[in-house]
Amino acid sequence: MKIVRIETYIAGNPWKNWLFAKVITDEGIYGVGEGTVNRFARTVEAAIHELESLVIGMDPFQIEIMSQRLIRDVYTDGGQIHMCAVAAIEIACWDIIGKALGQPVYNLFGGRCHQKLRAYANGWYRGPRTPESFAEKAAEVARRGYTALKFDPFGDNWRVLPRREFDLSLDIIRAVRAAVGEQVDILIEGHCRFNVATAIELAEAMAEFRPMWFEEPVPHTDIQAMVEVARRSPVPIATGENLMNKQQFAELLAHRAVSIYQPEPLHLGGLFAARKIADMVDAYYGMIAPHSAQGPVCSAACVQLNASTPNFLIHEIFDEFNEPWEREIVTHPVEVVNGYIEIPDRPGLGIDLNIEEILKHPYHPEHYLPLFKPGWERRVRAAG
């Protein structure tokens, strides 16, 4: 079996264009992957086609050497754009392998470790930044059966919080806790907003509401800062979604300060790299909660990863809170029932693209999430 060509498609979700790849073989088997990264859909699409010649003629089963060819041999650090392009190809190859063998991808990673996957809701708080709006929407998430939900209460703030903004953020957390009760976990998203002093002050203030974690309170590029916050915070710190290789995870793990890691398969160049990192984290008694804030193919890929990982903690779900047509652009989209994902046994990723439906939702350059602009929580097209 050999790869003969790669096709790419963009679905214009209003808050983030989703980029999908279809890797086609000479035996008629094809696989689907995803390379979404906020505002760079067309850039990653171009990168996929620039890399395409390196894999044409290759056996899709040869994942390791393919990844070396696409990353090491290119000899250019293209960051998340490069890695997402690689991931789109690599994930599609796992889909091909699973289909060729008649097995779900998790069986190729050592088998299934869980009967179902606990999920947490994200993207549910679209609307005004008020305690009342957050509380109302959080209560609805809990009514749907979710046992955990994540949110960023901090508006467009950066590095520091004026006192009124600090108090408003805390009021939102307080309102969500009151709305969902004590048995539902709340997870606080920091989006790399703060400096160390502000992050620690926030962690101490929110601790009474017993968050499951405080995610990326400081920039991921400063590992020492993340470690300092993790050691001083009374709330567990989660991080890792923006890291791009196992060496960065190794540096973070060596400090033994963070206990919840969030590898993003797209930023790491695919599923195999993410699975290796899950094992590295396991060696340090850590738990993984992979980042999955992209499109429906990434969601399905993360189900395969999480199903095979003993130290899996919880699965991120945006899908239910995206545009309703998301469920039409793939077959068998990931579903959450009473807060849990049932693990499919279909071959490969267990899904396929509906190209005709994708083409109904074109790319737009302002489809992205502007996290430092007022009102980003409304998750609508940024401009134009």
Residues 230-259 pLDDT 10s: 999 999 999 999 999 999 999 999 999 998
- 177 and 312 fall within a common domain: yes
- 298 and 173 fall within a common domain: yes
Q: Which of 191, 255, 332, 364 is catalytic?
A: 191
Give DSSP secondary structure letters for 272-340.
HHHHHHHHHHHHTT-EE-----S-HHHHHHHHHHHHT-TTB--EEE-GGGS-TTHHHHEES---EETTE
- 17 and 118 fall within a common domain: no
373 in any annotated domain: no
- 50 and 157 fall within a common domain: no
Question: What is the model's pLDDT at position 380?
Answer: 78
- 96 and 112 fall within a common domain: no
Residue 24 structural domain: 3-103
Q: Residue 157 and residue 193: Cα distance in Å, rounded?
A: 7
CATH code of the domain in which 51 resides = 3.30.390.10
Residue 80 pLDDT class (50, 70, 90 cuts)? very high
Q: Give me 253's structure tokens.
A: 């793990």
Q: Are 374 and 324 in contact (CB under 8 A)?
A: no
For the question of residue 114 being annotated catalytic, the response is no
Query: What 8-state DSSP symbol labels residue 16?
Result: S
- 181 and 245 fall within a common domain: yes
- 168 and 55 fall within a common domain: no
352 in any annotated domain: no
- 116 and 139 fall within a common domain: yes
How many distinct structural domains can be found in the chain? 2
- 156 and 224 fall within a common domain: yes
For the question of residue 82 being annotated catalytic, the response is no
pLDDT digits (tens, 9 = 90+) for 358-379: 999 999 999 999 999 999 988 8
CATH code of the domain in which 272 resides = 3.20.20.120
pLDDT digits (tens, 9 = 90+) for 10-61: 999 999 999 999 999 999 999 999 999 999 999 999 999 999 999 999 999 9
pLDDT digits (tens, 9 = 90+) for 37-46: 999 999 999 9
Domain boundary, last residue among 103, 118, 146: 103
The answer to pTM > 0.85 is yes
Q: How far lies 1's CA from each of 22, 59, 93, 97, 289, in Å?
A: 16, 6, 11, 10, 34
Q: What percent of the chain has pLDDT over 70?
A: 99
pLDDT digits (tens, 9 = 90+) for 148-201: 999 999 999 999 999 999 999 999 999 999 999 999 999 999 999 999 999 999
Domain boundary, last residue among 103, 126, 160: 103
Domain boundary, last residue among 59, 77, 103: 103
Q: Which of 220, 267, 291, 315 is catalytic?
A: 291
- 53 and 185 fall within a common domain: no
Question: What is the model's pLDDT at position 379?
Answer: 80
383 in any annotated domain: no
211 in any annotated domain: yes
pLDDT digits (tens, 9 = 90+) for 266-302: 999 999 999 999 999 999 999 999 999 999 999 999 9
- 322 and 176 fall within a common domain: yes
